[in-house]
Amino acid sequence: MQANSLQKLPTIFVSVAAYCESHLQLTIHHLFSQAKHPQRIFVGLVDQSENLNPDWLQQFPARKNINYVGLSPIDSRGVSWARSIAFSLYNDQDYLLQIDSHTLFDQGWDELLIEQFKQLKNSHPKPLISTYPPGFRFDSQGRAVADEPLKSDEIFFIDRDPASALTADRAVLQFRVVRKRVEPSEITHLPGFHVGACFLFTTGDFTQQVPYDPYLYFRGEEQSLSLRAHAKGYQVFHSRHNLIPLYHLYKEVGKAYEGQHWHPDMDAKRHTPFGWLQQRSNERINALFTPGSDLGAYGIDSPAQLESFCKLSGIDYLGRTTVPVKSD
């Protein structure tokens, strides 16, 4: 009877792509220790590291719940490629949570996200909860602490960075969080159009309906997911700060980190430089946002879906190929 009752609990597939990640053990530990029902958490972990199958993982109490793929960082082709492998580790779990490999969690994060999803499903058949989550850092004693210990009631809404402009041959844009306070205070989420790849929660079959394009590199990854999710009928919802149960370790802009795929030391060891990977990625994003292009499973079915997304997002992807597009 106990086994049957456990089987009835909704399960969560957690997609984690790690690259030379020094905080991976902390992330995996927190993922399970902070869950209310850790037995229903199943991880698809793609570990691109020089220390594969580390001792801590072999001894991890929930090791049987982790589907692990280890790869040399020299052979890595970027985050989208790694996330596509992680999606292949999905095994019919009810929900999907995608995170980065430097993430911490609030207690009961699993139950909170499922409850939010069920509430949103009352207003839309295919909700997708996503945003850029609040950050954390390590203090002088090496303890992980939230950047903002007290959470606000502001919605973490993702919008286009006004300094980022379209051109005739470049559709890749940058996005940012715009914090919005809404009335009435009972509003917990706002509908949006753009996903944050470091925090994405929806039904598990998203892995099948919107498979990751392995030919993308880094920038443009979220734009691809956002358009293709819209084409499949998903509605993005951005959460209120005090309802986001996880934290992301952000990197300083312009600073080089060894854990970056494009770090010169690692890039020099590869046969395929990151510049070529990014150029190919840019070309695929340009094709995705150009009517009539055929990217197969990684594209959309109809130009009407692109037109609909342009109206939803307020971004004139269609106009970029005919006239210059000014930034907002």
* Per-domain boundaries in the chain: 2-251+260-321
pLDDT for the residue 274: 74
3-state secondary structure of 103: strand
Integer CA distances (angstroms), 49 to 13, 25, 118, 279, in order: 22, 13, 37, 24
Burial class (CB in 10 A: 0-12, 13-18, 19+), 163: exposed
pLDDT for the residue 251: 72
What contacts 24+ positions apart, CB below 8 Å, involve 180-187? 180/154, 180/155, 181/152, 181/153, 181/154, 181/155, 182/155, 185/153, 187/155, 187/240
pLDDT for the residue 266: 66
* Amino acid symbol at 40: R
* Amino acid symbol at 214: P
Q: What is the mean pLDDT of residues 305-327?
A: 79
Q: Which residues pair with 41 in a beta bridge?
A: 12
Tokens of 126: 């295919």
Q: In the CATH hierarchy, which fold is given to the domain comprising 2-251+260-321?
A: Spore Coat Polysaccharide Biosynthesis Protein SpsA; Chain A (3.90.550)
Tokens of 118: 């069920």
Q: Which tens digit of pLDDT belongs to each residue from 187-226?
A: 999 999 999 999 999 999 999 999 999 999 878 999 999 9
pLDDT for the residue 267: 64
Count how many Cα atoms sit within 13 Å of the Cα of residue 185 in the half-sphere of its side chain: 3
Q: Report the distance separating Cα 194 and Cα 175, nearest Å.
A: 8
Q: What is the mean pLDDT of residues 23-42?
A: 97
The fraction of the chain above a pLDDT of 70, given in percent, is 90
Q: Which tens digit of pLDDT belongs to each residue from 146-160?
A: 999 999 999 999 999
* 263 — pLDDT class (breaks 50, 70, 90): low
pLDDT for the residue 184: 81
Q: What is the mean pLDDT of residues 117-146?
A: 95
* 268 — pLDDT class (breaks 50, 70, 90): low
Burial class (CB in 10 A: 0-12, 13-18, 19+), 128: buried
- Given a cut of 60, is residue 118 above it in pLDDT? yes
